[in-house]
């Protein structure tokens, strides 16, 4: 079931006011139709400073040269993440699925994505700062939220950004149409493979992940 755009929650005005109050002097924000926008071009350095100052209730990304606000996860979103984390632990105990990971993406690592999950070897992020390079990350994970920007962000921009960063696998768990899409084989800034599977099927994640997912439990989170 797909929610209409009008039903999807917008950023609360209170969160925008807190973010605008914390913004660096040279970053001018505006609030238009429930969306946060910058009045001037935003550099990656200015974005990082804004993100450091943002209130805890606001999760920011820098995608395709634009400021993006990522929706806070709801209960089903969190349960889906736990479902995936348990399966990864069972199949690959040498790996860990790290939540809320800040990753440098896109060409020349100019993007800043806050992934729902990043699969890497245990201990991979030790000593890293807020934004990690993509080397050593085997898979990024996004679980769609019921917000108006999820189509452009998760289905269009993120595959390009992750492929350009040469992340081997991007797993998109799509709650709007109850599917899993597996992007793999990054080449020239694009994933060469992107098959989609309905929830309830067995999904083989390709090397270097090499995990078999039983997606039957996802059906309980259809909304």
DSSP 107-127: GGG-EEEEEEEEEEETTTTTT
- Is the pTM for the entire model greater than 0.85? yes
For residues 56 and 83, state if they share a domain. no
> Which of 111, 216, 100, 94 lies closest to 160, judged by CA?
111
For residues 35 and 90, state if they share a domain. no
For residues 57 and 90, state if they share a domain. no
186-209 tens-digit pLDDT: 999 999 999 999 999 999 999 999
5, pLDDT greater than 80: no
- Cis upstream peptide for 102 (omega within 30°): no
For residues 112 and 168, state if they share a domain. yes
> Coil, helix or strand for 2?
coil
User: Sign of torsion, CA 57 62 68 74?
Assistant: negative
What does the pLDDT read at residue 7? Answer: 46
For residues 147 and 215, state if they share a domain. yes
104-136 tens-digit pLDDT: 999 999 999 999 999 999 999 999 999 999 999
Give residue 208's domain range: 75-221
58-117 tens-digit pLDDT: 999 999 999 999 988 999 999 999 999 999 999 999 999 999 999 999 999 999 999 999
Domain boundary pick from 70, 86, 115: 70
151-191 tens-digit pLDDT: 889 999 999 999 999 999 999 999 999 999 999 999 999 99
Please count the structural domains in the chain: 2
For residues 59 and 87, state if they share a domain. no
What CATH number has the domain bearing residue 206?
Answer: 3.90.1570.10
Better pLDDT: 32 or 205: 205
What does the pLDDT read at residue 221? Answer: 93
Domain boundary pick from 44, 70, 96: 70
For residues 47 and 157, state if they share a domain. no
What does the pLDDT read at residue 171? Answer: 98
For residues 104 and 205, state if they share a domain. yes
What does the pLDDT read at residue 2? Answer: 43
Contact predicate 103/131, CB 8 Å: yes
């Amino acid at each position: 079931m797909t929610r209409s755009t009008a039903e999807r929650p917008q950023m609360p005005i209170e969160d925008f006011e807190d973010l605008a109050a914390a913004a660096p002097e040279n970053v001018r924000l505006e609030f238009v139709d429930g969306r946060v926008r910058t009045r001037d071009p935003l550099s990656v350095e200015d974005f990082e400073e804004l993100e450091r100052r943002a209130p805890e209730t606001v999760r920011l990304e820098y995608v395709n040269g634009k400021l993006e606000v990522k929706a806070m996860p709801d209960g089903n979103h969190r349960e889906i993440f736990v479902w995936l984390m348990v399966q990864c632990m069972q199949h690959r105990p040498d790996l860990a699925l790290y939540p809320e990971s800040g990753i440098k993406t896109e060409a020349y690592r100019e993007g800043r994505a806050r992934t729902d999950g990043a699969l890497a070897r245990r201990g991979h992020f030790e000593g890293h700062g807020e934004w990690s390079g993509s080397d050593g990350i085997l898979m990024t994970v996004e679980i769609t939220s019921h917000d108006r920007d999820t189509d452009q962000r998760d289905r269009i921009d993120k595959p390009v950004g992750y492929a350009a960063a040469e992340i081997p696998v991007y797993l998109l768990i799509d709650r709007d149409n109850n599917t899993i899409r597996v992007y793999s084989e990054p080449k020239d800034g694009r994933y060469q493979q992107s098959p989609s599977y309905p929830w309830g099927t067995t999904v083989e994640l390709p090397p270097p992940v090499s995990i078999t997912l039983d997606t039957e439990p996802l059906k309980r989170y259809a909304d």
